[in-house]
Amino acid sequence: MSVLRLQASRLIRPASAPSARVWSKGYASSVHGNDPKIIEEEKQRNLSGNQDSSAPHKEHAPGWNEHLASDSEAAVKADQATKPGKPGKDLQDATVERE
């Protein structure tokens, strides 16, 4: 092959890109991140009935543990927890009561 053909073939051939590792978390993400230690701690907390003091949805879903749920389950639970009426009004009232 001549030098011109080699140079021409390099122009036509696409340059190969270095492969990159892709780390997948799986199909669903979650608060616990599939950490077995966190899952076991939260499971034991639920079984003993000791709900975290900062747990959301205590009023309408006692025992709900967001740490054991997927992100989509937590989003659905949050959407279902909203009260009818002006959004944020109950949060404002609760904040004023605490101060």
- Residue 22 has a pLDDT of 47
- Residue 75 has a pLDDT of 83
Run means of pLDDT, 10 residues per run, the chain, 99 residues: 58 55 55 80 84 66 78 82 72 77
Write out the two tokens for 34.
């599939």
- Residue 33 has a pLDDT of 73
What is the full DSSP assignment across 26-83?
Answer: -S--BSSTT-HHHHHHHHHHHHHT---TT-S-TTTSTT--GGGSBHHHHHHHHHHTPP
The verdict on pTM exceeding 0.75 is no
